[in-house]
């Protein structure tokens, strides 16, 4: 569940008219095999990106291009996750510093177009094999961009989020994407259930889709998972006739999926192994003999304990949508009624105590993990989306009430100071605003530059305490 955000189908201008492959230039060997950390876009030098060119790039044949979109513009760290696979597969990778999630009028489409422009002028790009990778809110954007790319996008990597909720732009294809989709989520990610529910839906439509779970929270997948995902997309291009078949690569990738499933069994996580075998069988169908994966999955599910684990996992996964609808309706109802909500009644309505009890019950690890994800989901809502909505209508009191609920869920959690500072600034309470700004700066929620530039703090510009706060040491 996320606060509504308008999503429209877009046609990327750089893809308006393209041949099957562009005749790019050869690249100096000095630029290959290392991360080019900060490059300015030719058409707008205020936009920047990082890039990786594989050592084997010659310009003699068209190569796939992957664009990486991080919601905080963390260009280099997100690009580094792709290097091993890019080198193995021969992909060029570009990663933007300027993409943003949950920001009104974020320049994400422009950032993508500028990277495409530069790629088309620099490399010999296979324009039937463009790929997009996005995390969280930017994962949702990759679905929209890919639909609007006129068939040039062969696949996407949707990390820690699934399709946008607005389905109008998908009707042309009956809900089945005309490209391959690899989705990933951490086992503690509040979007885990959303991701895997989406995968189940797409599989029933016959879409090219795979799902990878890993030990982690709301984050990009680890580098080994990213390498496997990119390899699968490469193999899917072979199945679609976009690349020559490489059975050695396919065998190797299927072998990695099989080893991961077997490792889960060896770690006494047979229930998780059934998910991995099922994914391997579905992802590699038509590319590799999946008889062994299906047989291994069936053998595990023959154990009543494993079957119960899997049944509970799947039941809770399906129940997530209903729980999120209740959460959304409760929070929407509060917005529609004046006054500060009773926190105890609100806590009861959101089932916080029940989820906390389940999350602490290690005798039922499936339900515990699911309940922890529901608490994380609620925390994201009341620590950011709801307070921001109230601050947007100049209601600091109710913004602070939502932050109090967040504190109830995650006592002493980092990440609340910035929102509280904004609320106290609306109240013109200089002392509390400065206290929370100090906290936000110490927790790296904000930078000094952001504090100086934010007009909501200008009412304190003549106060010595604020001047001291925004003045760097020695400055």
Kindly state whether residue 282 falls inside one of the protein's structural domains.
no
Residue 371's SS3 state is helix
- List phi, psi (to 5°) of 180: -85, 150
Share of the chain above pLDDT 90, in %: 79
Burial class (CB in 10 A: 0-12, 13-18, 19+), 35: middle
Read off the pTM: 0.89
Residue 361 and residue 229 share a domain = no
Kindly state whether residue 314 falls inside one of the protein's structural domains.
no
Residue 155 and residue 19 share a domain = yes
Kindly state whether residue 140 falls inside one of the protein's structural domains.
yes
Q: What is the pLDDT of residue 21?
A: 54
Residue 51 and residue 191 share a domain = yes
CA atoms within 13 A on the CB side of 44: 14
> Distance between CA 12 and CA 72 in Å, rounded?
21
Kindly state whether residue 274 falls inside one of the protein's structural domains.
no
Mean pLDDT estimate for the chain: 91
Domain's final residue, options 189, 212, 245: 245
Query: Looking at residue 222, what DSSP letter applies?
Result: P
Kindly state whether residue 225 falls inside one of the protein's structural domains.
yes
Kindly state whether residue 286 falls inside one of the protein's structural domains.
no
For the record, the structure tokens of 461 come out as 């510009």
Higher-confidence residue: 235 or 31? 235
> Distance between CA 379 and CA 375 in Å, rounded?
6
Residue 240 and residue 367 share a domain = no
> Distance between CA 47 and CA 286 in Å, rounded?
42
> Distance between CA 156 and CA 135 in Å, rounded?
11
Residue 186 and residue 40 share a domain = yes
Residue 223 and residue 92 share a domain = yes
The domain in which residue 384 lies consists of: 319-470
Residue 328 and residue 213 share a domain = no
Q: What is the pLDDT of residue 92?
A: 97
**Predicted confidence (pLDDT) per residue in 87-131, tens digit:** 999 999 999 999 999 777 789 999 999 999 999 999 999 999 999
Kindly state whether residue 4 falls inside one of the protein's structural domains.
no
For the record, the structure tokens of 38 come out as 């900060």
Residue 164 and residue 27 share a domain = yes
pLDDT at residue 350 tops 90: yes
Cβ atoms within 10 Å, residue 442: 11
Kindly state whether residue 300 falls inside one of the protein's structural domains.
no
**Predicted confidence (pLDDT) per residue in 228-285, tens digit:** 999 999 999 999 999 999 999 999 999 999 999 999 999 889 999 999 999 999 999 9
Q: How many domains does the chain have?
A: 2
Burial class (CB in 10 A: 0-12, 13-18, 19+), 447: exposed
Domain's final residue, options 212, 245, 278: 245
Domain's final residue, options 245, 261, 295: 245
Average confidence (pLDDT) over 20-46? 81
């Amino acid at each position: 569940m996320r606060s509504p955000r308008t999503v429209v189908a877009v046609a990327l201008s750089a893809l308006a008219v393209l041949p099957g492959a562009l005749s790019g230039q050869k690249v100096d060997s000095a630029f290959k095999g290392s991360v080019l950390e900060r490059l300015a876009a030719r058409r707008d030098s205020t936009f920047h990106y990082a890039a990786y060119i594989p050592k084997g790039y010659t310009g003699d044949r068209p190569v796939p291009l992957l664009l990486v979109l991080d919601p905080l513009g963390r260009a280099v760290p997100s690009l580094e996750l792709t290097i091993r696979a890019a080198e193995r597969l021969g992909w060029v990778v570009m990663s933007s510093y300027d993409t943003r999630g949950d920001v009104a009028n974020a320049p994400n489409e422009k950032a993508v177009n500028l990277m495409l422009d530069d790629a088309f002028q620099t490399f010999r790009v296979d324009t039937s094999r463009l790929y997009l990778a996005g995390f969280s809110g930017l994962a949702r954007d990759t679905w929209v961009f890919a639909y609007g790319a006129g068939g040039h996008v062969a696949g996407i990597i949707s990390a820690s989020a699934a399709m946008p909720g607005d389905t109008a732009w998908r009707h042309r294809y009956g809900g089945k994407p005309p490209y391959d989709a690899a989705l990933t989520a951490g086992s503690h990610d509040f979007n885990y259930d959303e991701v895997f529910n989406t995968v189940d839906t797409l599989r029933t439509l016959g879409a090219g889709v795979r799902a990878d779970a890993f030990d982690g929270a709301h984050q990009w997948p680890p580098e080994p998972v990213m390498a496997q995902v990119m390899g699968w997309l490469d193999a899917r291009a072979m199945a679609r006739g976009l690349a020559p078949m490489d059975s050695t690569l396919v065998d190797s990738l299927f072998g990695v999926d099989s080893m991961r499933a077997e490792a889960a069994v060896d770690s006494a996580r047979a229930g998780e192994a059934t998910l991995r075998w099922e994914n391997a069988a579905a992802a590699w169908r038509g590319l590799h003999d999946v008889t062994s994966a299906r047989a291994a999955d069936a053998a595990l599910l023959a154990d009543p304990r494993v079957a119960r684990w899997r049944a509970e996992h799947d039941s809770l996964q399906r129940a997530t949508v209903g729980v999120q609808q209740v959460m959304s309706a409760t929070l929407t109802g509060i917005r529609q009624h004046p006054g500060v909500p009773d926190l105890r009644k609100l806590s009861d309505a959101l089932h916080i105590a029940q989820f906390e009890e389940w999350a602490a019950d290690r005798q039922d690890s499936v339900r515990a993990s699911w309940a922890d994800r529901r608490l994380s989901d609620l925390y994201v809502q009341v620590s950011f989306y709801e307070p921001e909505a109230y601050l947007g209508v100049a209601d600091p009191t109710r913004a602070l009430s939502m932050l109090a609920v967040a504190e109830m869920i995650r006592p002493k959690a980092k990440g609340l100071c910035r929102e509280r500072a904004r609320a106290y600034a609306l109240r013109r309470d200089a002392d509390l605003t400065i206290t929370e700004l100090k906290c936000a700066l110490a927790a790296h929620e904000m930078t000094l530059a952001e504090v100086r530039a934010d007009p909501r703090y200008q009412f304190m510009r003549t106060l010595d305490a604020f001047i001291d706060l925004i003045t760097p040491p020695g400055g």
